[in-house]
């Protein structure tokens, strides 16, 4: 047997002691620590005047406009640039010393939305900026509205990464987020006769005032080619990779300022550029188009965000994106570590890397490759460093969303990595043998390669095996990880899987999105609530205080009037702000069961028509969310919602007691407008299928009552807000598994519920689609014969819960008491709490 690498045997520390810094590097670090003094720009002593002049200067000298010619977008750029200077000041003023340990958060998605209000609020400059702009005759709200959303994510996973970045900066955790600077974020959604249409999103069309381009942080990323082997000394073999193609990754930094401006972290997004802009040989040969072909191919990597989060289509470009950003990020952080500490062997003492789902799982072989090839470590040492630096978060157990890549594709695109994966796997399986586990079924289940339908690399298994800690995102989801997808791997190392229930940043989802509620909270329990969400608990004492309740209800009424105006402006539908606003906002997925909500809407419609004179509780059903462009069934669900909306909204017999609205182009900004106006939050996924949910937390925090299943974080929300303040229905995860195993479940459930049968019949009859009567047969046939998501089974209990909600709404004092208790008891769901738990138990970073 040969040795796996030729590196000289240097001592490797296996403990967690901090290393002595070699003298040469100590000097570099000392130079970096030289104190920074702020440029002595003139100041008037009046912060509003200073801000006004700063904005005027940016408008003139950077944007190149006068107040007379400036458009709203220009005012936004000028304001953002003026604020960015303050962020730089805050950054330079904060502790510049090298932290003992940094967190690196690798995510293919950061759904950050708009940044202006975040930055102003965290710097305490909202009122100063408002007054400065007012001096110039400009309304702050208009300027905020001119900022495009940075929609660099699909949904929950990407938004979680954005909340975590904000929280890490706020709690003073030194961190760098790494991702891709997509030219085009998530597509823009519009409706054409109720059908979803997609258009490219163009957030960078007029540049991005928040970012700093860092051409000095550029890395070469290889693809394809071949691997050579050389015997460098007796029995010592070194392999090296010779890529056929290299692409440049150029850093673009977005500063992330924390609460009260105390800390500033960086979100480093990579842009793909060609090694050479034109192929000169081809150009000179007259092939002018061919000469730029490789550039087009290279730059395609950061061109567009993949708009599906429901199934892997195994496209090569997606794998290229994953490797591109993972390699650039690892090269960057290893270089930073070596510059600061001099010795790559201590990487795990000073860096904790978090893999946000499996999208960066190629980090396992890539970090190994860097350590083996670029730094000459021995295999065992490289493996020690790798598996003590990496950690992996799983965000879904749905089989169709678990990433696997064909071995053949990996061998072609990343031949060296495939070799490393084979070797990791070989050692992993050998280890099983040493523990007496020779049975084929066990080995097949823990292998990094799935051999059952073609040979594919299981990215979840790879990330799991290469990580020190693996976490789920709610208590239930983590339990299911242990008992299902990762059962056998978990048995090998029972301490590896830990739970870290998700959280949300209260700065964005309470303070910025809902200043009226924030003011109420501050008045009731004091300013301290802005720093310590635990103080929200004090609101409990006001839940039945008539004066407070009146103000809380008034606050909600204001938000509902504002949302009603948006609804009318965007859909032409008039809604009554006094009605119950019933909200389901999230990606359109069968497991999230928007269809359950629509079928219940149809049943309610039939009930109203049957008893038109009954005193029905007025409701507005509000939907928002995008379907993946290739997800046919999800797009048909949107169309059904639109067709039902048309019938219901126009029916004089319903007389406004039921309205159905589908707001187009759901986004972070739209969420910020909807959530404070919601009375009811629909969290109705099939139990066991929603890993956590975070919209559920945002809505409950803002005082919406939840109607939900015992799924994901709903269970923990119930535990916090109290079972009497939430409406739970349906089967639990164990019940779902048991019921799926029973034959005939959809048929039995439909037979048992005449109401459900009638609603399905109405949809199937073409009543909502007279121009195409069979349009919704794919939906109704599926429910009648398959119903993978147990909609029919949960329907009756959902109906019961909804009628209970109708009754509860008719008792305003009771309703508002529940709503206030929801707000009061949601503090635990702050992403600050989540980040402290990660810091303690996964990253082992001490917070100062």
Q: Which residues are catalytic?
A: 395, 586-587, 592, 694, 698
Cβ proximity to ligand 26V, 419 vs 633, nearer residue: 633
Which one of 28, 246, 312, 606 is in contact with ligand 26V (CB under 6 A)?
312
Looking at 224-307, which runs of residues are DSSP E strands?
226-233, 236-242, 245-257, 264-274
397/394 Cα distance (integer angstroms) = 8
Helix (H, G, I), strand (E, B) or coil at 704: coil
504-517: string of b/e by CB count within 10 Å (b at 16+)? bbbbbbbbbbbbbb
Q: Is 690 in the site for ligand 26V (CB under 6 A)?
A: yes
**CA neighbours closer than 13 Å in the CB half-sphere of residue 99:** 20
Q: Is 394 in the site for ligand 26V (CB under 6 A)?
A: no
State in angstroms the smallest separation of the CB of 833 from ligand 26V.
Answer: 15
State in angstroms the smallest separation of the CB of 504 from ligand 26V.
Answer: 10
> Cα 96–99–105 angle (5° rounding)?
110
Cβ proximity to ligand 26V, 119 vs 402, nearer residue: 402
Would you put residue 176 in left (φ > 0), alpha (ψ -120 to 50) or beta? beta
Which one of 170, 208, 294, 308 is in contact with ligand 26V (CB under 6 A)?
308
The residues with which 707 forms a beta bridge, in sequence order, are: 682, 727
- Contact residues for 569 (Cβ-Cβ < 8 A; gap 6+): none
By the 8 A CB rule, do 760 and 780 touch?
yes
Which one of 6, 166, 309, 381 is in contact with ligand 26V (CB under 6 A)?
309
Cβ proximity to ligand 26V, 80 vs 473, nearer residue: 473
Q: Is 396 in the site for ligand 26V (CB under 6 A)?
A: yes
> Cα 512–576–547 angle (5° rounding)?
60
21/343 Cα distance (integer angstroms) = 9
How many residues bind to ligand 26V according to rule CB under 6 A?
22
The residues with which 242 forms a beta bridge, in sequence order, are: 226
Cβ proximity to ligand 26V, 159 vs 337, nearer residue: 159
Cβ proximity to ligand 26V, 273 vs 309, nearer residue: 309
Q: Is 160 in the site for ligand 26V (CB under 6 A)?
A: yes
Site string for ligand 26V, 414-453 (x = CB under 6 A): ----------------------------------------
Q: Is 681 in the site for ligand 26V (CB under 6 A)?
A: no
27: burial class by Cβ within 10 Å (0-12, 13-18, 19+)?
exposed
Cβ proximity to ligand 26V, 502 vs 830, nearer residue: 502
State in angstroms the smallest separation of the CB of 88 from ligand 26V.
Answer: 31
Q: Is 716 in the site for ligand 26V (CB under 6 A)?
A: no
Cβ proximity to ligand 26V, 312 vs 419, nearer residue: 312
Would you put residue 333 in left (φ > 0), alpha (ψ -120 to 50) or beta? alpha
Which one of 90, 98, 473, 588 is in contact with ligand 26V (CB under 6 A)?
473
State in angstroms the smallest separation of the CB of 401 from ligand 26V.
Answer: 4
Bridge pairing between strands 102-106 and 175-180: parallel
Q: Is 671 in the site for ligand 26V (CB under 6 A)?
A: no
Give the residue closest to ligand 26V by C-beta.
156
φ, ψ of residue 817 to 5 degrees: the values are -60, -45
Q: Is 115 in the site for ligand 26V (CB under 6 A)?
A: no
Q: Is 498 in the site for ligand 26V (CB under 6 A)?
A: no
Cβ proximity to ligand 26V, 157 vs 658, nearer residue: 157
State in angstroms the smallest separation of the CB of 395 from ligand 26V.
Answer: 4
Which one of 102, 320, 349, 395 is in contact with ligand 26V (CB under 6 A)?
395
State in angstroms the smallest separation of the CB of 432 from ligand 26V.
Answer: 29
Q: Is 499 in the site for ligand 26V (CB under 6 A)?
A: no
Which one of 107, 265, 387, 692 is in contact with ligand 26V (CB under 6 A)?
692
Which one of 149, 211, 357, 381 is in contact with ligand 26V (CB under 6 A)?
357
745: burial class by Cβ within 10 Å (0-12, 13-18, 19+)?
middle
Instruction: Give the number of other Cβ atoms within 10 Å of residue 96's Cβ.
Output: 12
By the 8 A CB rule, do 559 and 516 touch?
yes
Cβ proximity to ligand 26V, 538 vs 629, nearer residue: 629
φ, ψ of residue 268 to 5 degrees: the values are -100, 110
549/536 Cα distance (integer angstroms) = 15
Residue located via tokens 């019921």: 739
Report CA-CA distances (Å) from 53 to 42, 50, 82: 10, 5, 9
Q: Is 238 in the site for ligand 26V (CB under 6 A)?
A: no
Interface with ligand 26V (CB under 6 A)? 154-157, 160, 306, 308-309, 312, 357, 395-396, 401, 403, 473, 502, 690-694, 712
């Amino acid at each position: 047997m040969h040795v796996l690498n030729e590196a000289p045997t240097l001592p490797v520390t296996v403990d967690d002691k901090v290393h002595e810094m070699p003298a040469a590097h100590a000097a570099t670090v000392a130079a970096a620590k030289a104190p920074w003094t702020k440029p002595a720009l003139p100041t008037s002593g009046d912060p509003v005047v200073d801000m006004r002049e700063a904005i005027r200067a940016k408008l003139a000298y950077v944007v190149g406009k006068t107040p007379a010619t400036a458009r709203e977008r220009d005012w936004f750029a000028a304001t953002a640039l003026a604020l960015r200077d303050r962020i730089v000041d805050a950054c330079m003023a904060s502790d510049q010393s090298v932290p003992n340990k940094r967190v690196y958060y690798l995510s293919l998605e950061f759904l950050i939305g708009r940044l202006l209000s975040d930055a102003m609020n965290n710097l305490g400059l909202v009122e100063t900026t408002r007054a400065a702009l007012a001096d110039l005759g400009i309304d702050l709200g208009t300027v905020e509205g001119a900022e495009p959303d940075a929609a660099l994510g699909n949904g929950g996973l990407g938004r979680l990464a954005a909340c975590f970045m904000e929280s890490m900066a706020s709690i003073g955790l030194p961190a760098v987020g790494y991702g891709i600077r997509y030219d085009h974020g998530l597509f823009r959604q519009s409706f054409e006769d109720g059908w979803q249409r997609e258009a490219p999103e163009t957030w960078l069309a007029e540049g991005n005032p928040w970012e700093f381009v860092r051409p000095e942080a550029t890395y070469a990323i290889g693809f394809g080619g071949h691997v050579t082997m050389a015997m460098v000394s007796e029995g010592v073999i070194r392999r090296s990779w010779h890529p056929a193609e290299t692409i440049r990754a150029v850093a673009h930094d977005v500063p992330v300022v924390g609460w009260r401006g105390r800390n500033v972290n960086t979100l480093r997004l990579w842009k793909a550029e060609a090694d050479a802009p034109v192929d000169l040989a081809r150009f000179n040969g007259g092939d002018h188009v061919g000469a730029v072909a490789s550039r087009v191919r290279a730059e395609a990597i950061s061109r567009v965000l993949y708009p599906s989060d429901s199934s892997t289509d195994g496209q090569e470009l997606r794998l290229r994106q994953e490797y591109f950003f993972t390699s650039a990020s690892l090269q960057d952080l290893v270089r930073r570590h070596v510059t600061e500490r001099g010795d790559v062997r201590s990487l795990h003492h000073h860096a904790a890397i978090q893999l946000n789902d499996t999208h960066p799982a190629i980090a396992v072989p890539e970090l190994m490759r860097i350590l083996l090839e670029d730094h000459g470590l021995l295999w065992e040492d490289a493996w020690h460093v790798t598996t003590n630096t990496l950690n992996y978060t799983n965000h879904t157990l749905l089989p169709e969303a678990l990433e696997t890549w064909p071995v053949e594709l990996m061998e072609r695109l990343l031949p060296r990595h495939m070799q490393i994966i084979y070797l990791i796997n070989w050692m992993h399986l050998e280890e099983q043998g040493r523990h007496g586990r020779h049975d084929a079924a066990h080995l097949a289940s823990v292998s990094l390669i799935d051999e059952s339908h073609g040979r594919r690399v299981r990215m979840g298994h790879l990330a799991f095996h290469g990580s020190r800690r693996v976490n789920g995102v709610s208590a239930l989801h983590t339990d299911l990880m242990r008992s299902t997808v990762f059962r056998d791997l978990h048995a090998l190392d029972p301490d590896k899987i830990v739970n870290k229930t998700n959280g949300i940043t209260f700065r964005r989802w309470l303070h910025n999105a809902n200043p009226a509620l924030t003011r109420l909270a501050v008045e009731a329990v004091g300013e301290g609530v802005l720093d310590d969400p635990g103080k929200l608990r004090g609101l409990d004492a006001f839940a039945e205080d008539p004066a407070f309740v009146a103000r809380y209800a008034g606050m909600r009424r204001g938000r509902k009037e504002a949302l009603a105006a948006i609804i009318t402006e965007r859909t032409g539908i008039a809604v009554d702000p006094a009605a119950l606003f019933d909200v389901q906002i999230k990606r359109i997925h069968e497991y999230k069961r928007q269809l359950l909500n629509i079928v219940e809407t149809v049943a309610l419609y039939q009930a109203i028509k049957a008893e038109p004179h009954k005193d029905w509780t007025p409701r507005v059903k509000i939907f928002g969310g995008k379907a993946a462009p290739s997800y046919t069934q999800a797009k048909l669900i949107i169309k059904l919602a639109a067709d039902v909306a048309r019938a219901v909204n126009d029916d004089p017999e319903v007389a406004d007691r039921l309205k159905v609205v589908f707001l187009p182009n759901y986004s972070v900004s739209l969420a910020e407008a909807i959530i404070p106006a919601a009375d009811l939050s629909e969290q109705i996924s099939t139990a066991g299928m929603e890993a956590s949910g975070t919209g559920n937390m945002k809505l409950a925090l803002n005082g919406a009552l939840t109607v939900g299943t015992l799924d994901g974080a709903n269970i923990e929300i119930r535990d916090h807000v109290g079972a009497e303040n939430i409406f739970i229905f349906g089967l639990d995860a164990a019940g779902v598994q048991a019921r799926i195993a029973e034959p005939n479940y959809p048929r039995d459930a439909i037979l048992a519920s005449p109401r459900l049968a009638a609603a399905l019949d109405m949809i199937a009859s073409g009543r909502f689609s007279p121009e195409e009567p069979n349009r919704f047969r794919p939906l109704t046939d599926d429910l009648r014969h398959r119903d993978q998501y147990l909609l029919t089974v949960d329907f009756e209990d959902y109906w019961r819960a909804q009628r209970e909600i109708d009754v509860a709404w008719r008792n305003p004092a009771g309703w508002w008491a529940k709503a206030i208790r929801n707000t009061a008891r949601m503090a635990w769901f702050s992403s600050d709490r989540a980040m402290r738990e990660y810091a303690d138990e996964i990253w082992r970073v001490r917070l100062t």
